[in-house]
Amino acid sequence: MRLLLALIIIVPAIEIGLLVLSGNIIGVWPTVLIIISTGVLGAWLAKKQGLEALRKFQHQMSYGQMPSDIIIDGLCILVGGVVLLTPGFVTDLIGLLLLLPATRNVIKPWIGRLVQRAIRRGNFTIIR
């Protein structure tokens, strides 16, 4: 909970600082265009990756396989798309890391360990 509170305070402060710095260095309009273009790129990439994950999910389900890896992919794509729509350079970087398959594959084991740890601690349960 403390980490979440710190992120809610620290990340926007860093974003505001970077946006002001960017506005001073490259100008206001180029900064605004970068923000808009990353939002559009993020929406397109999230849609493309989300549809691909849905196809993989349906394919694995049709063969009777448990699509746990695809579920984590879908979660990463959802969070990455939402974060990319948020104005700022740090959130854009996080969103791109979650949306691009190469970097997402590096991040997924870490997310899997977090989920397993939360299940062991009883933070969320699995209903069967």
Does residue 102 belong to any structural domain of this protein?
yes
pTM of the model: 0.80
Establish if 27 belongs to a structural domain.
no
Confirm whether 17 is domain-assigned.
no
Is the residue at 31 inside a domain?
no
Per the structure, the count of domains in the chain is 1
Residue 115, burial from CB neighbour count under 10 angstroms (0-12, 13-18, 19+): middle
Question: What domain range is 71 assigned to?
Answer: 38-121
Q: Could you tell me if residue 12 is inside a domain?
A: no
Largest CA distance in the chain: 56
User: Is residue 104 domain-resident?
Assistant: yes
Mean pLDDT of the chain: 89
Which of 14-18, 69-73, 102-106 is predicted least confidently?
69-73
**pLDDT tens digits, residue range 40-58?**
988 999 999 999 999 999 9
